[in-house]
Amino acid sequence: MAIAGEVWQALQAAGAGVPNGDGLSALGFPAPDAATTARIDTQATRVDLAGGLLGRGHLARDATSNDWRWEPEPRFDITMSHASGYWTADRAAQQLRIRALAVLPRADARELQITPTRRRDLEQALPVSEFVAQISALCQSRGAALTPAHWVRGPNRNALDAFSYSSRITKPGDQVALSAEVMTALPNAMNSSVVTCAELRIENLPAWTNALTAAAATAATDMRLSIYELIDLLMVAWQTATETLCAVVAGTERQTIWVAPPTVELHVSAERRFDQNGAGGAPTLDTYIDLSPLGRSDRGSLSTMSVTVTAPPRLDRSARQALIRQAVLYMAQQFGFVDVTEDVLQPARSSSR
């Protein structure tokens, strides 16, 4: 197998950020299909790799700059990182949390910064973002296009190395029905990665009904999310975390060298605040989501499900759509819905109730 020197150089450069490793030990050796590829020359646009510390992946050449980058092959597991607990302390009395949390272990992570200009750009972009449009579509399908259009700083920390913005949909009297939040944290003493997160919280189903009624709508009888709406929400939250929020961090536009594979953790949880007024057990997911298309779980009633996706942060829409269905299928099967198949989650059914 003949391999161009340019490819070897790209391999060494892309693996340079892995501690105590060189490109070959970090990313592996070129592993093309020997039956169809006799040589890898300077015209190659993709080189499959195997045997590296970071797991199976490939080198990909950027069509515009011609620069090479390493990307992991998509894969799934249910291992959650330390960062999965970020921004979860403040809870409503009872709520559903739907979130996508990206962990991006860049070699240059400690050199990045959140600038005032990028922060202002995000403030202008959030009200017209795809994340907001998806939340508005949820309300529209239930009678009225309520929109989380007013975004404010908080409730979590805003500093030179972090930001948090949130918006709420309320019923008359200001009781919160839905809240949305986007958050980012740069590396600190406990974490060496850039961590970004987009989440929607359904805090009060009756309040959501009342908010729709106040907008002169006839609210749906069943306010629960469909499994297809959940898929759409997770996909848009994923895109928001790995693309929209990363754009706020100055320096992320540079060529990325990974210390470890980038991941996104998709998490759905029905929660109850732990205090003296929070009597009773945790609510279950089927309080908020119609899980019936998945069948029955061998684990009984569930209060949480999650899946970690290892994949390139930037994906085109069709690739992300395919991966989100595979990820939700994997998650469902891991949490006891062993009879569900991918055809149940096909895009023709997505966005329908």
- pLDDT exceeds cutoff 70 at 348: no
- The pLDDT tens digits for 6-25 are 888 888 888 887 776 677 88
How far is residue 330's CA from residue 324's CA, in Å, rounded to a whole number? 10
pLDDT of res. 352: 46
pLDDT digits (tens, 9 = 90+) for 21-38: 677 888 988 887 766 666
pLDDT at 139 exceeding the cut of 50:
yes
Is a pLDDT exceeding 80 seen at residue 224? yes
Three-class SS of residue 222?
Answer: coil
Region of residue 351 (left: phi > 0; alpha: psi -120 to 50; beta: else): left
Mean per-residue pLDDT over the chain, rounded: 90
Burial of 274 (0-12, 13-18, 19+ CB in 10 A): exposed
Tell me the HSE value of 154 on the side-chain side, using a 13 A CA sphere.
Answer: 2
Distances (CA, A) of 275 to 93, 94, 171, 278: 9, 11, 25, 5
Residue type, 220: A
**227-244 confidence digits (pLDDT tens):** 999 999 999 999 999 999
| pTM of this structure | 0.92
Q: Which pLDDT value is given to residue 236?
A: 98
Of 238, 188, 237, 239, the C-alpha closest to 86 is: 188
Q: Is 5 exposed, middle or buried (0-12, 13-18, 19+ CB in 10 A)?
A: exposed
According to the model, what pLDDT value does residue 280 have?
A: 62
**pLDDT confidence of residue 119:** 96
Strands (E), 233-312: 249-250, 263-272, 289-290, 304-310
Return the half-sphere exposure (C-beta side, CA atoms, 13 A cut-off) of residue 77: 5
Q: Is the pLDDT of residue 132 over 50?
A: yes
Q: Which tokens go with 201?
A: 């919280």
pLDDT tens profile 54-97 = 999 999 988 888 888 999 999 999 999 999 999 998 888 899 99
Furthest CA-CA distance within the chain: 71
- When pLDDT is averaged across residues 201-225 and rounded to a whole number, the result is 89
Specify the range with the lowest mean pLDDT, choosing from 31-45, 183-197, 199-213, 261-275. Answer: 31-45
Structure confidence by residue, pLDDT tens digits, 277-296: 555 677 999 999 999 999 99
